[in-house]
Amino acid sequence: MLEQVDFYLLETAVSEGKLKLACRLTNKLHNMRKRIIMVCEDKPQLKNLDGLLWRFSDTSFIPHQIVDDQTAMDCEKYMVHLTLAEGLPHVVEDRLDVVINLTSTLLPDTLTVARRAELIECDEADKQAARGRYKHYVDAGTATNVHRITL
């Protein structure tokens, strides 16, 4: 049952801002021993995020796995997984705590996790798409929080 959605709104434009924010948030959640799936917009974004997770910090490392129709989710070895929206059917939902949405679309309500994080760039198109997702969650009675972030 979805208990909470946190919207993380970047206050200023930063190169790869959404991906850098995803790395920061994932590092924090990983240190809290949370099991995470990160949903990417497209293959280039997924590839960029994969690279950033390897090198975003000199003091931390986030082991992670890309999940798709070719690669089964390995929850014994990894706590952090990356996928595209079409890869969600291959996700073992009962093994996850948090979904981090890097897409501009609403993810299916069928994902059974307690928390979702919606990451939003400071550009108007991304904000507009996020408003629709926010309204969906509020209308569904889900607790929502908005965090304004500066990187």
Per-residue pLDDT for 61 more than 90? no
The terminus-to-terminus CA distance of the chain in angstroms comes to: 31
Looking at residue 1, what is its pLDDT?
Answer: 64
Q: Work out the average pLDDT over 56-74.
A: 86
In contact, 22 and 81? CB cutoff 8 Å? no
Tens-digit pLDDT profile for residues 3-42:
899 999 999 998 999 999 999 999 999 999 999 999 999 9
The domains located in the chain, with CATH, are: 4-149 (3.40.50.10110)
Tens-digit pLDDT profile for residues 80-123:
999 998 888 777 777 789 999 999 999 987 777 889 999 999 99
Per-residue pLDDT for 47 more than 70? yes
Per-residue pLDDT for 149 more than 90? yes
- DSSP helix, strand, coil percent of the chain (3-state; round to 5): 35, 25, 40
